[in-house]
Structure 1
């Protein structure tokens, strides 16, 4: 199985097909040959915090520990046109300003419960931004070393095919 086929199977495992730019990013392609938005350290830190709300640390490390924000920044820069990048980072800035308006401080400074509340509100107030953010965060997480080896079962060199193997209670899903 080649990498493209593996990524396609992962996307189906995660609940659907990935967008073309996300798929290109996973495969390391660069489809945006024009200018890109310059991302600040504060924006990257904000992305890390939001991604960590989407995939928090539990018995396995969360999205922040996996570096999902770096994947998001790279894929946005390399695979999305400038207009889409501007919309995405405007959505991120709006989340931060909404946090400031609701709680008197930026998203990064909020308590965990307040962050969860702001992301829940985001699912209804800006669905397009949230869906793109979630797609990139989940994809970045499950294609990272942490996501593929600690959150999923991983066999580096697969053995023979056994089509019907019952899961054990508490067993993780398999990385493909």
Structure 2
């Protein structure tokens, strides 16, 4: 089993830049609100999230979820409450399995919940199961969460943030998806005049902070 590297400053800043892009704020703002000590993922949780991201978006002729760090992005996004994930869980959705992972403010520790749920499906250790078994375990969780009329499941938000993280990367936005800059043609040599604004769709021209 591959162990994730320690949760360091480089990991945080990389995911923070992507998070800032998604929420439309300067990355400096995110840097000033780091993940609290009790919110930092364990090495095992990072390994599991990387694996889950790769199962959601496997590597083909384009990079997979693990390759672009979509798991780390989801961890950071969850810690900062993207997609309403730091709001209190509605009382009607709280089951014994959910209640175990509630914070004092009533919000859910999504990563802890996912780790426990995957381990239960994996007979105690999700990461010790074969790739095929891991895919089947996650597929069962996904099918139950996405079924018509299914009760609220934390997996919906987790999966959504993995997809958000992936498709706001260069690989996801321009390799996995087709990308064409309006007006739809490439001019190799255009004059840049003083005061010209950068293209909003040009990642290299986005200035954070």
TM-score (norm 1): 0.63
- Equivalent position of 2:119 in the other structure: 97
Cα gap change, 1:54 to 1:63, in 2 (>3 Å)? same
1:112 aligns with 2:108: no
The 2-side partners of 1:94 and 1:47 are apart by 12
Shift of 1:60: 1.3
Segments ≥4 residues shifted beyond 4 Å: 28-31, 33-36, 82-85
Paired residues in the alignment total 138
The 2-side partners of 1:146 and 1:39 are apart by 25
In 1, are the aligned partners of 2:122 and 2:137 still within 8 Å (CA)? no
Specify the structure having the higher radius of gyration (Cα): 2
In 1, are the aligned partners of 2:62 and 2:176 still within 8 Å (CA)? yes
Q: Which has the higher helix share?
A: 1
The 2-side partners of 1:160 and 1:61 are apart by 25
In 2, are the aligned partners of 1:142 and 1:148 still within 8 Å (CA)? yes
CA RMSD across the alignment: 3.4
Cα gap change, 1:120 to 1:84, in 2 (>3 Å)? farther
The runs of 5 or more residues in structure 1 that have no matched partner are 1-22, 162-174
1:158 aligns with 2:182: yes
In 1, are the aligned partners of 2:74 and 2:161 still within 8 Å (CA)? yes
TM-score (norm 2): 0.54
Moved more, 123-132 or 61-70: 123-132
The runs of 5 or more residues in structure 2 that have no matched partner are 1-18, 87-102, 146-150, 186-200, 202-209
The 1-side partners of 2:68 and 2:55 are apart by 13
